[in-house]
């Protein structure tokens, strides 16, 4: 624990103290200017990393937010005479508001559409900055003076310290955010947006909030940028800058504060690097060397695809050879960025910091902080007395896909405290029915009632919030999160500290409580020893059990298990049966979709059989097994399909 504190926090403290002390020794104004820019770009890149790294989306709007923030500060100071801090606050607010406005439509879709929307936003904001001449001065640019700070003029070192302090604050706030439920949600929604919704953690709202937060940091950096240069032009914030920013984040290393810091220093140093021929040759040669080392290693170990080993070597080779052929490297600036960026994206997807961090962790092996004692299961999942009343009711439920009647007029009742089996041959509509109940699909017609009240339709998130929790037939775990984090993410009512306090780091005690509770649920499914293991590294059976523990963390009134025994080895099936029995004992109502008839017979109080989207039988497992229609549906009947001799 102490070692962890010294290494991780110590490195940060030392870095910031050293950076802070530099102006006392060095009075070179050029170097100071570079350091100031480093701090500003550091803030900007930490913001960009939220979307590019944590949300996993290509964001092409951060340069625009820098520009908008810069102009906001500039206009506040020149037109309204704001002070330095109020102007910065306005910059941040502009970033936050416009970020949220852009995110609302843009984040509804993944991938290229999002990138395109941010690209359009950038182009649009450049147009506005250029054309709204009354406010921004248009292409002429906007000059401003750095406002005084409580009557004192802010000199260069003073401004540098301000930027550095803000970087440190942003750094800490970001770290606090990422180690809270928010950080978990960001990771989770990249792995499985569907499961994130189904666990009552809104995918969309977290994405929007994350993007808006990143944009507000862009706005803040913009305000500082304005006070640093004291002259703004719309052309400074175009696509070119955006590509350089992406270069910074990717090259430095995504999902890493140090990576953003490293990327920022790189961006600051790039112009110098290109203007000095010798320096450029050295960097290009080092790049080629790195590509060769990484490439050969992965080629030998056959770990990566060959293209991944060879392509960066070719790209860096082009850089070295091109460096000899070209007269002026500055003219080829963009091509040089492109080749470097290409090599990193292909060959070192974790960036340079990720590469370094892997070796450092092997070298120092810092143990994760110890886990707290598990809570008692009774406090996490209090036993409920079941009254046997109707909990869930489907009324004439229909769901059609075009002409396919996947669920066709299904009505059924699930009683509180019961294990209700839902069985039927493949393609009979069980999964669709469950998907409608849990809100993945809106019903075509009919109602789903919980406690006699209509369940929200067509929203996994809202249904999860209403007290229905589910597992998935095709596992939807958050593979990059540990087993513990998978459960912690879903924990209901565990996180009450509001966002501003989370940013200040005041959510630690809540985190520890959540850890204890999650451990209790892991104990229930027998996974407490694997709490720190990444979900993707668990065995298949353990993954199935983890899904159940995660669904239970919602403390659901109704738990839907979608084929939990599918693909399980025989010993695991008996463990599963034991787990489901103990859940039932606590009074949680369960809908069980299953093919294993022995599991169904052993666990279920009532069984509903569907075929072709309709209910063909209902009753106790024994009754259903003897039902002729059920036998026909599963096995076929000889006289209907006579065998051809």
Partner 1 sequence: MNSLIIAQMAVSGALMGLVYALIAYGFQLTFATSKSINFGQGELVMLSAFFSLTLLNLGAPYWLMIPGGLLFGVVMGLVVERACVRLTLEQKSEGWILLTIIFGLLGFSAAENIWGRDDRPFPSPISSDALHILGINVTPVEISVAIGVFAVMGVIELFKRKTLLGKAFEAVSADRDAAELMGISATHTIMLSYGLSGMVAAMAGILISPITTVGPTMASALILKAFSVAVVAGLDSGFGVVVIGILIGVLESLTSYYLGSGWRETPGLLLLILALAIRPNGVFGKVSIRKV
Q: Restricting to residues 328-357, name those near partner 1 by CB under 8 A.
A: 331-339, 341-342, 345-346, 349
- Cα separation, 512 vs 543, whole angstroms: 24
- Specify the residue, 37 or 60, whose C-beta has the smaller distance to partner 1: 60
Q: What number of other Cβ atoms are within 10 A of residue 377's Cβ?
A: 16
Q: Is 310 in the site for partner 1 (CB under 8 A)?
A: no
Structure tokens that stand for 59 in this block: 């964001």
Q: Restricting to residues 422-461, name those near partner 1 by CB under 8 A.
A: 435, 440-441
Torsion angles phi and psi, residue 272, rounded to 5: -65, -35
- Specify the residue, 102 or 448, whose C-beta has the smaller distance to partner 1: 102
What string of H, E and C letters represents the secondary structure of 2-53? HHHHHHHHHHHHHHHHHHHHHHHHCCCHHHHHHHHHHHHHHHHHHHHHHHHH
Contact 415, 391 (CB under 8 A): yes
Q: Is 120 in the site for partner 1 (CB under 8 A)?
A: yes
Smallest separation, CB 95 to partner 1 (Å): 17
Q: Is 309 in the site for partner 1 (CB under 8 A)?
A: no
Beta strands in 302-442 (DSSP E): 390-401, 404-415, 419-423
Torsion angles phi and psi, residue 408, rounded to 5: -130, 95
Torsion angles phi and psi, residue 232, rounded to 5: -125, 145
User: What is the C-alpha end-to-end distance of the chain, expressed in Å?
Assistant: 76
Which region, left, alpha or beta, applies to residue 325 given φ > 0 means left and ψ of -120 to 50 means alpha? alpha
Smallest separation, CB 421 to partner 1 (Å): 20
Q: Is 308 in the site for partner 1 (CB under 8 A)?
A: yes
x/- binding map, residues 190-229, to partner 1, per CB under 8 A?
----x-----------------------------------
- Specify the residue, 308 or 516, whose C-beta has the smaller distance to partner 1: 308
Smallest separation, CB 597 to partner 1 (Å): 24
- Cα separation, 314 vs 343, whole angstroms: 9
- Cα separation, 285 vs 289, whole angstroms: 6
Q: Are strands 231-232 and 142-143 parallel, antiparallel or unpaired?
A: antiparallel
Smallest separation, CB 365 to partner 1 (Å): 29
Smallest separation, CB 103 to partner 1 (Å): 11
Provide the CA 626 distance to its chain's centre, in angstroms. Answer: 49
CA atoms 576, 578, 581, 586: torsion sign: negative
Give the H/E segment covering residue 166: helix 156-178
- Sorted by sequence, the CB contacts under 8 Å of residue 308 that are 6+ apart come out as 295, 298, 346, 347
Query: Using CB under 8 A, which of 85, 307, 364, 540 touches partner 1?
Result: 307
- The residue among 377, 340, 281, 386 whose CA lies nearest residue 582 is 377
Beta strands in 451-557 (DSSP E): 453-454, 468-470
Smallest separation, CB 335 to partner 1 (Å): 4
- Specify the residue, 80 or 540, whose C-beta has the smaller distance to partner 1: 540
- Specify the residue, 120 or 601, whose C-beta has the smaller distance to partner 1: 120
Q: Restricting to residues 126-145, name those near partner 1 by CB under 8 A.
A: 127, 130-131
Residue with tokens 């930490």: 46
Q: Is 246 in the site for partner 1 (CB under 8 A)?
A: yes
- Specify the residue, 192 or 216, whose C-beta has the smaller distance to partner 1: 192
Query: Using CB under 8 A, which of 105, 368, 369, 567 touches partner 1?
Result: 105
Query: Using CB under 8 A, which of 401, 499, 536, 539 touches partner 1?
Result: 401
Kindly indicate which of the ranges 54-62, 88-96, 142-150, 293-301 contains the residues binding partner 1, using the contact rule CB under 8 A.
Answer: 54-62
Kindly indicate which of the ranges 143-151, 174-182, 264-272, 471-479 contains the residues binding partner 1, using the contact rule CB under 8 A.
Answer: 471-479
Q: Is 317 in the site for partner 1 (CB under 8 A)?
A: no
Kindly indicate which of the ranges 65-73, 105-113, 520-528, 542-550 contains the residues binding partner 1, using the contact rule CB under 8 A.
Answer: 105-113
Smallest separation, CB 140 to partner 1 (Å): 13
Size of residue set near partner 1 by CB under 8 A: 56
Contact 420, 605 (CB under 8 A): yes
- Specify the residue, 250 or 257, whose C-beta has the smaller distance to partner 1: 250
Kindly indicate which of the ranges 370-378, 379-387, 470-478, 632-640 contains the residues binding partner 1, using the contact rule CB under 8 A.
Answer: 470-478
Contact 627, 425 (CB under 8 A): no
Residues that bind partner 1 (CB under 8 A): 56-58, 102, 104-106, 108-113, 115-117, 119-121, 123-124, 127, 130-131, 194, 239, 243, 246, 250, 305, 307-308, 311, 326, 331-339, 341-342, 345-346, 349, 401, 435, 440-441, 472-474, 476
């Amino acid at each position: 624990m102490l070692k962890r504190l010294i290494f991780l926090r110590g490195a940060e403290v030392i870095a910031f103290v050293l950076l802070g002390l530099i102006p006392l020794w060095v009075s070179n104004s050029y170097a100071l200017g570079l350091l100031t820019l480093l701090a500003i770009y550091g803030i900007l890149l930490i913001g960009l990393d939220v979307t590019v790294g944590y949300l996993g989306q290509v964001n092409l709007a951060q340069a625009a937010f820098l520009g908008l923030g810069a102009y906001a500060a500039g206009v506040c100071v020149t037109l309204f005479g704001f002070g330095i801090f109020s102007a910065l606050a306005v910059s941040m607010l502009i970033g936050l508001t416009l970020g949220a406005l852009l995110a609302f439509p843009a984040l509804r879709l993944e991938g290229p559409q999002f990138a395109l929307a941010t690209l359009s936003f950038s182009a649009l904001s450049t147009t506005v900055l250029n054309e709204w001449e009354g406010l921004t001065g248009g292409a002429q640019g906007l000059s401003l003076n750095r406002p005084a700070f409580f009557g004192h003029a802010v000199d260069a070192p003073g401004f540098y310290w301000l930027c550095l302090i803000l970087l440190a604050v942003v750094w800490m706030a970001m770290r606090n955010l990422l180690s809270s439920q928010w950080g978990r949600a960001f990771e989770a929604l990249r792995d499985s947006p569907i499961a994130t919704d189904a666990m009552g953690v809104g995918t969309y709202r977290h994405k929007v909030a994350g993007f808006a937060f990143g944009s507000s940091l862009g706005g803040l950096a913009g305000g500082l940028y304005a006070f640093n240069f004291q002259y703004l032009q719309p052309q400074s914030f175009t696509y070119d800058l955006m590509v350089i920013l992406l270069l910074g984040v990717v090259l430095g290393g995504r999902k890493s504060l140090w990576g953003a810091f490293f990327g920022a220093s790189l961006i600051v140093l790039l112009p110098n690097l290109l203007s000095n021929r010798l320096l450029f040759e050295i960097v290009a040669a080092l790049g080629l060397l790195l590509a060769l080392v990484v490439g050969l290693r992965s080629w030998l170990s056959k770990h990566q695809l060959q293209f991944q080993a060879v392509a960066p070597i070719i790209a860096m080779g082009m850089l070295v050879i091109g460096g000899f052929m070209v007269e002026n490297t500055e003219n080829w600036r963009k091509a040089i960025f492109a080749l470097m960026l290409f090599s990193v994206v292909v060959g070192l997807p974790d960036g340079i910091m990720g590469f370094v961090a892997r070796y450092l962790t092997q070298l120092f092996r810092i143990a994760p902080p110890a886990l707290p004692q598990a809570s008692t299961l009774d406090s996490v999942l209090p036993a409920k007395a079941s009254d046997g009343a109707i909990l869930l009711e489907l009324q004439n439920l229909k769901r059609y896909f075009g002409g396919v009647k996947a669920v066709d007029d299904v009505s059924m009742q699930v009683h509180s405290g019961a294990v209700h089996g839902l069985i039927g041959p493949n393609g009979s509509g069980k999964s669709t029915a469950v998907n409608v109940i849990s809100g993945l699909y809106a019903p075509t017609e009919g109602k789903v009632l919980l406690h006699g009240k209509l369940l929200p339709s067509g929203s996994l998130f809202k249904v999860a919030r209403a007290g229905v929790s589910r597992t998935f037939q095709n596992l939807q775990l958050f593979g990059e999160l540990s087993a513990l984090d998978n459960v912690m993410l879903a924990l209901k009512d565990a996180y009450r500290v509001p966002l501003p306090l989370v940013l200040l780091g005041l959510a630690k005690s809540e985190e520890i409580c959540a850890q204890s509770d999650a451990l209790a649920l892991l104990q229930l499914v027998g996974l407490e020893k694997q709490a720190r293991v990444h979900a993707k590294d668990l065995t298949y059976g353990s993954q199935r059990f983890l899904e159940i523990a995660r669904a239970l963390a919602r403390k659901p009134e109704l738990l839907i298990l979608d084929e939990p025994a599918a693909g399980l080895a025989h010993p695991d099936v008996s463990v599963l049966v034991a787990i489901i029995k103990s859940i039932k004992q606590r009074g949680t109502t369960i809908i069980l979709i299953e093919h294993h008839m022995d599991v169904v017979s052993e666990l279920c109080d009532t069984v509903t059989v569907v075929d072709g989207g309709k209910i063909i039988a209902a009753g106790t497992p024994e009754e259903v097994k003897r039902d002729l229609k059920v036998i026909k549906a599963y096995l076929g009947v000889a006289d209907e399909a006579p065998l051809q001799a």
